[in-house]
């Protein structure tokens, strides 16, 4: 092989590249213009600004996306909560209605049972006028009959006459305590007597003393006594009030009430 002569070698670094028009990317005018407008520092700044702007747009877009997603999630959660509350309320109402129906049915059943028991318990019983003490029963009712019931005032106990044993047997109930009662009565114009409807007919159903009758005319309490506003007395087992106040006459339009103690 023949040796390459040194003069055949060329220094590439020293070689001159001939620039021709068809090898250029820009014209001389464009090159001059670009050289004037964009230095490296300016290019770096432009790139940095572009990146910052792009990041800003990205952050804004991300924030908007997050806000939209949060709002959507909140709306869906609110709707779900409302639906759950409505469903729970409907279920509670249904269960409450069922419970009410069941409770009413149970109460009606108990009432029917108690009514039957009470009816059977009092069947054949005859209530008589109360007496002061147990010893007074023999005097008040010398010839009692089966099922007679008598209340003893001093002990508030009830006794039933048992014909089989010919004795008074304590009944397993306690007589009701005395309680106040008020009734409204009507009178005629210029009336001097008032029929109260309160009776002492020997059954004990309507039994009252004389001393606790309170008469009121148009809301004003009157005074009892021969020299006061009125007097009271039983006439044919019915309590009659006699008006004695002559300062004014009773009228049908007056509101008249009578309060008394109901016993038995």
CA dist 200 and 208 (Å) reads 7
Report the distance separating Cα 105 and Cα 100, nearest Å: 8
Domain ranges of the chain: 26-123, 126-174, 179-262
Report CA 82 to chain centroid distance, whole Å.
23
44 or 142: which leads in pLDDT: 142
For every residue of 224-238, DSSP letters joined together read BSTTSSEEEEEETTE
Is residue 216 over pLDDT 50? yes
What pLDDT score was predicted for residue 168? Answer: 94
Contact criterion met (CB below 8 Å) for 222 and 176: no
d(CA 72, CA 219): 70
* Domain at 126-174, CATH from 3.30.70.100, 3.40.50.1220, 3.30.70.260, 3.40.1620.70: 3.40.1620.70
What residue has token string 């949060």?
70
pLDDT at position 157 over 90:
no
Tens of pLDDT, residues 241-262: 999 987 888 999 999 998 877 6
Buried b (16+ CB within 10 A) or exposed e, 182-198: eeebebeeebeebebeb
pLDDT tens, residue by residue, 217-236 = 998 999 888 888 999 888 88
Does the pLDDT at position 17 exceed 70? no
Half-sphere exposure of 14 (CA within 13 A, CB side): 3
For 150-211, give the DSSP string.
EEETTTTEEEEEETTTTEEEEEEEEPPPPEEEEEEE---TTB-EEEEEEE--SSSSSB--ST
**Contact between 187 and 227 (Cβ < 8 Å):** no
Q: What is the pLDDT of residue 104?
A: 80
Pick the more confident residue, 52 or 166. Answer: 166
Which pLDDT band, with edges at 50, 70 and 90, does 80 fall under?
confident
pTM of this prediction? 0.35
Q: What is the mean pLDDT of residues 85-111?
A: 81
Residue 159 has pLDDT above 50, yes or no: yes
The SS3 of residue 167 is strand
Residue 244 class from Cβ within 10 Å (0-12 exposed, 13-18 middle, 19+ buried)?
A: middle
Q: What is the pLDDT of residue 1?
A: 46
Name the pLDDT band for 205 (thresholds 50, 70, 90): very low
Report H helices in the chain: 28-37, 40-122, 136-140
> Any residues with CB less than 8 A from the CB of 238 and at least 6 apart, and which?
195, 196, 197, 198, 199
Tokens of 171: 């009944």
CA distance 135 to 147: 19
């Amino acid at each position: 092989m023949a040796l390459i002569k040194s003069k055949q070698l060329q220094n590439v670094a020293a070689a001159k590249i001939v620039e021709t028009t068809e090898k250029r990317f820009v014209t001389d005018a464009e090159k001059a213009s670009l050289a004037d407008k964009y230095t490296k520092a300016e290019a770096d700044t432009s790139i940095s600004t572009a990146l910052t702007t792009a990041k800003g747009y990205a952050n804004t877009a991300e924030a908007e996306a997050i806000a939209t997603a949060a709002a959507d999630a909140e709306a869906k959660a609110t709707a779900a909560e409302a639906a759950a509350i409505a469903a729970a309320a409907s279920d509670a109402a249904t269960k409450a209605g069922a419970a009410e129906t069941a409770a009413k049915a149970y109460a009606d059943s108990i009432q029917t049972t108690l009514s039957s028991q009470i009816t059977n318990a009092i069947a054949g019983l005859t209530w008589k006028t109360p007496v002061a003490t147990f010893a007074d029963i023999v005097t008040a009712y010398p010839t009692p009959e089966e099922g007679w019931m008598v209340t003893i005032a001093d002990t508030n106990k009830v006794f039933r006459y048992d014909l089989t044993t010919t004795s008074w047997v304590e009944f397993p109930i306690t007589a009701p305590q005395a309680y106040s009662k008020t009734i409204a009565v009507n009178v005629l114009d210029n009336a001097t007597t008032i029929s109260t409807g309160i009776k002492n007919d020997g059954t004990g159903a309507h039994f009252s003393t004389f001393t606790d009758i309170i008469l009121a005319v148009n809301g004003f309490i009157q005074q009892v006594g021969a020299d006061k506003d009125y007097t009271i007395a039983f006439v044919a087992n019915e309590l009659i009030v006699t008006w004695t106040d002559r300062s004014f006459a009773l009228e049908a339009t007056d509101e008249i009430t009578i309060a008394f103690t109901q016993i038995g």
